[in-house]
Structure 1
Amino acid sequence: MAQRPERADALRNREAVLAAADALFAASSSPHSVSMDDIAAAAGVGKGTLFRRFGDRAGLIGAVIASRLEPLRQAVQAAQDSGSSPQQRVRDLLDAALHFKIENRNLMSAAEDAGLSSPYQAEHYGAWYEILREALDQVPGVHDAEFTAHALLAAIRADLVVYLIDDQKMTPQALHTSLAAHIDNVLGNRCDPADTHKKP
């Protein structure tokens, strides 16, 4: 049986809620300070609408994250289509994912705090992991690509990004540089000739 299309008013309410939640989380210094009441009021809907549509706070946070992932998906796809070496694809994916984590660190931390499943069960984690694993499988000398993919993704966990940037006052550029050096260490600093023309 075909799924019924969403009613126009329901779609408007959904978009209003996502926009309100997105703005409130972005403006807040702590995700814990944003309540469902705050989001409902900013969106101009009843709190019951939030619970009916998203289930709970964790579901709402997950929907906001999903709404922000499209630019990252495009960056990942561009990296895959670039024809670059497996080593460079690993670097490009992790650099794009780190940028996303930095820009959305409060929201991603809120997701972890709200118990939004396990981070390893999230749809975007599975996609990043598979692309990384496939690239690492093609890098000479990398043993156990499955574990290495998980370990590299652990280096950009939201809680670590928040700690380094907000608590330790590390700049985003310094974090990107440190991640690049870590990736080179893991890959044994192997440089593919196809990448010699690319930026260092």
Structure 2
Amino acid sequence: MNSPLVPLGRPRAERADAARNRAHLLTTAREMMAELGVEKVTMDGLAERAGLGKGTVYRRFGTRAGIFHALLDDDEHVFQEQVLSGPPPLGPGAEPIARLIAYGRARTAYLADHLAIVRASLDRNKPVPAGAGATLTRMHLRLLLRLARPDATDIDVDALALQLTAALEGPFMLYLSAPRPEEFAGTPVADRLGDSWQTLVESVCRT
């Protein structure tokens, strides 16, 4: 089966020193999150911990939210690689419906694990973005739906993929504005959403 996803665009080629600085800063940011929590990661603190000038950090990320955008970008690439070439049913080799179910469960777990980072990546001066992950989810679901229902003439696959993407990604965006979103991440609620996703997919794909 051909892989449904189109790889995320990589940034333009960087100078070797710039690439090293970026990798070092992201590694340092992850260490700070693990030790101090997301809320304690600041631009100045990251520069000091990484042993780099503040100007380097500000040029690289622009804002504090930019740090978390970069972290999410890296993690989205890892997640996509699992979908592109990982073992089935998430990766290639399984039937379309099994892959749809596996993708929804994996994406739900991913979003729950990254809830604090997504929250920190939001710029309060800008609207909440859909993000590259949601765009790729829609592309992936659309192709798998076509494979699952190749002869279907009674459904609009494009519209259905858009609505299923909202069903999959939307609940987590709602929790971003919750008073205490940390109560959600890592709880059985994510498993329940995975179960409901399976019910939804099986209903949609029933012939």
After superposing the two structures, state which structure 1 stretch, 91-100 or 172-181, moved more: 172-181
Question: 1:35 aligned to 42, 62, 67, which one?
Answer: 42
> Any unmatched runs of 5+ in structure 1?
193-200
CA RMSD of aligned residues (A): 3.4
Alignment partner, residue 82 of structure 1: 93
How far has the Cα of 1:158 moved from its partner?
5.0
- Unpaired runs of 5+ in structure 2? 1-11
1:68-115 Cα distance to aligned partner (Å, 9 max, x none): 22331122224351231x322221112121222222221111113556
Q: Secondary structure at the match of 1:119?
A: coil
Provide TM-score, normalisation by structure 2: 0.71
CA distance, structure 1, for counterparts of residue 70 and residue 28 of structure 2? 12
1:11 is aligned to 2:11: no
Partner of 1:91: 101
User: Under a length normalisation based on structure 1, what TM-score does the superposition of the two structures give?
Assistant: 0.73
SS in 1 for 2:203: coil
Distance 1:130 1:180 in 2: 22
**Distance across 2 between alignment mates of 1:157 and 1:142:** 27
**Which amino acid in structure 2 is aligned with residue 132 of structure 1?**
L
Q: 2:141 maps to which residue? A: 132
Q: How many residues align?
A: 186
Distance 1:32 1:18, change over 3 A: same
Query: What do the CA deviations read for 1:118-162 (whole angstroms, capped 9, x no partner)?
Result: 432x22221111101222344467664133223222345255389
Post-superposition Cα deviations, 1:4-55, rounded to whole Å, max 9, x if no partner, equal: 96333322221111111122234444x3432111111111111111111222
Look up the match of 2:122.
Answer: 112
Match of 1:25 in 2: 33
Q: 1:190 and 1:126 mapped to 2: Cα distance?
A: 21
| Identity in percent | 23
List 4+ stretches of structure 1 deviating above 6 A: none
2:26 and 2:71 in contact (8 A); partners too: yes
